[in-house]
Amino acid sequence: MSEVATPSLRSSVSAGSSASTDSGMLWDFWYPAVRSRQIRGRALSTAMLLEVPLALGRDAQGRAFALRDSCPHRGMPLSFGHFDGITLECCYHGWQFDAHTGRCTAIPSLSADSRLKVERIFAGHFPCEERDGYVWVYMPDPAARSGPTEPVPPAPQLPTFSERYRLTHLWAELPCHVDQGIIGLMDPAHGPFVHQSWWWRSRHSIREKEKKFEPIANGFRMSAHAPSANSAPYKLLRIYGQPINTTIDFALPNMRFEQIRCGPYWFSSRATVTPIRRDLCRIDFVAAWNIFRWVPFAVPIFRAFARRFLRQDQQTMEKQAFGLAHGPNLTLIDDADRPAKWYFQLKAAHLESKRTGAPMRHPLDGPVTLRWRS
């Protein structure tokens, strides 16, 4: 087993505090800003993505919008202003902005003979879409001054496989850099230690694992396989008497998709780790399924287990934050930490391709088998 120290890991998590230094967060991607239900009526909601403060709302037609929460006049947060369903008025000097384009439409202090071209003033505005119960915001690279360099791709969507299904959402804040949140998400070796419980597993259930991985666009896939025999939820699925297989994908910037298929039955989930500030991220978990739909209270039961799971991860990251605060050197090992290494390599390859304009050089050039114990 080889051990590899990773200086990139250290520098990416202990970046300086000035907003101008590289914060190790990826631009030109969609991120979930708030849950759809956090925006009600004409009220404005706030969020922060990649250290950018946002004011979010929904227009008279119900279409969501996202503006930089800062008036271009004197920096007043626009979220303190008044929104009438079309136009947002700053609370300080009453400048008005179109909610979707950010274009200034009125400056009350201008005299009749003013020649100022009001329509050339813009509040920062961002592409915004609603999917799966989240308001997603596309964060263009601020270094590319003239807006997004490439056409904005569609916002991510959770795959579902039948007309009717159940859907639930959970979230937790993690007091760490997004990189730590993401490698925590893909780490196969912490399960028996962090998620010990009678219904899931104990440290005595550790056994040898062997999984195949393959490259996918912007990420990698744990190829379709029968789920591990030592976890209880998978045992439950056996009652359907159908072959069960599961696929887990990771894709930049921050998404882990898991699908379990069992004949016509399925479970599909997505976890995203979203950078809020360089020292804070949030994990958003959404799951949809048509299995056990006949079981009463299936949703609250699932939520109770999932919440506990997420809480265990959150508490672990809270403890880890004490250690990471001192910028320690870290040691990623093969094979258990190989997905984490791929993440850093993918990120570097993505940034390099953006810098040079050349196609991204994927760190996996074909299928790979990893072995570890968990």
Question: Among all residues, whose Cβ is closest to Fe ion?
Answer: 313
Torsion of CA 322, 324, 330, 336, to 10 degrees: 70
**In the Cβ-directed half-sphere of 170, how many Cα atoms lie within 13 Å?**
21
Q: How far is the CB of 124 from ligand FES (least distance, A)?
A: 13
Quick one: 27 or 92, whose CB is closer to ligand FES?
A: 92
Among ligand FES, Fe ion, none, partner that 337 touches (CB below 5 to 8 angstroms by kind): none
Among ligand FES, Fe ion, none, partner that 138 touches (CB below 5 to 8 angstroms by kind): none
Closest CA to 299 of 168, 170, 158: 168
**Rounded to 5°, angle at Cα 337 from 332 and 341:** 75
State which H helix or E strand residue 151 sits in.
Answer: none
Quick one: 82 or 131, whose CB is closer to ligand FES?
A: 82
How many residues sit in the footprint of ligand FES (CB under 6 A)? 8
Quick one: 78 or 273, whose CB is closer to Fe ion?
A: 273
Quick one: 76 or 364, whose CB is closer to ligand FES?
A: 76
70 neighbors 129 (Cβ within 8 angstroms): no
Binding site for Fe ion (CB under 5 A): 313
Q: How far is the CB of 194 from Fe ion (least distance, A)?
A: 6
Q: How far is the CB of 92 from ligand FES (least distance, A)?
A: 4
In the chain, what is the straight-line distance between the N-terminal and C-terminal CA atoms, in Å? Answer: 16
79 neighbors 89 (Cβ within 8 angstroms): no
Quick one: 49 or 78, whose CB is closer to ligand FES?
A: 78
Find tokens 């930490």 and name the residue.
337
Rg, C-alpha atoms of the chain = 23
Residues 119-178 that bind ligand FES (CB under 6 A): none
Q: How far is the CB of 72 from ligand FES (least distance, A)?
A: 8
CA distance 158 to 286: 8
303: Cα separation from own chain's centroid: 19
Among ligand FES, Fe ion, none, partner that 73 touches (CB below 5 to 8 angstroms by kind): ligand FES
Residues 70-129 that bind ligand FES (CB under 6 A): 71, 73-74, 76, 90, 92-93, 95
Percent of the chain that is helix, strand, coil (3-state, to 5)? 25, 35, 45
Q: Taking the alpha carbons of 18, 21, 23, 27 in that order, is the dihedral positive or negative?
A: positive
Site map (CB under 6 A) of ligand FES, residues 39-78, x = contact: --------------------------------x-xx-x--
CA distance 4 to 332: 6
Closest CA to 183 of 287, 281, 74, 94: 281
Q: How far is the CB of 98 from Fe ion (least distance, A)?
A: 43
Q: How far is the CB of 258 from Fe ion (least distance, A)?
A: 12
What DSSP character marks residue 197?
B
Among ligand FES, Fe ion, none, partner that 303 touches (CB below 5 to 8 angstroms by kind): none
Among Fe ion, ligand FES, none, partner that 332 touches (CB below 5 to 8 angstroms by kind): none
> What phi and psi, each to the nearest 5 degrees, are found at residue 44?
-100, 145
Among ligand FES, Fe ion, none, partner that 313 touches (CB below 5 to 8 angstroms by kind): Fe ion
Q: How far is the CB of 46 from ligand FES (least distance, A)?
A: 16
Closest CA to 60 of 84, 95, 31, 37: 84
CA distance 95 to 119: 11
Q: How far is the CB of 96 from ligand FES (least distance, A)?
A: 9
Quick one: 73 or 307, whose CB is closer to ligand FES?
A: 73
Quick one: 90 or 283, whose CB is closer to ligand FES?
A: 90
Among ligand FES, Fe ion, none, partner that 90 touches (CB below 5 to 8 angstroms by kind): ligand FES
Quick one: 104 or 185, whose CB is closer to ligand FES?
A: 104
Q: How far is the CB of 216 from Fe ion (least distance, A)?
A: 22
Burial of 53 (0-12, 13-18, 19+ CB in 10 A): middle
What DSSP character marks residue 311?
H
Which residue ranges make up the site for ligand FES (CB under 6 A)?
71, 73-74, 76, 90, 92-93, 95
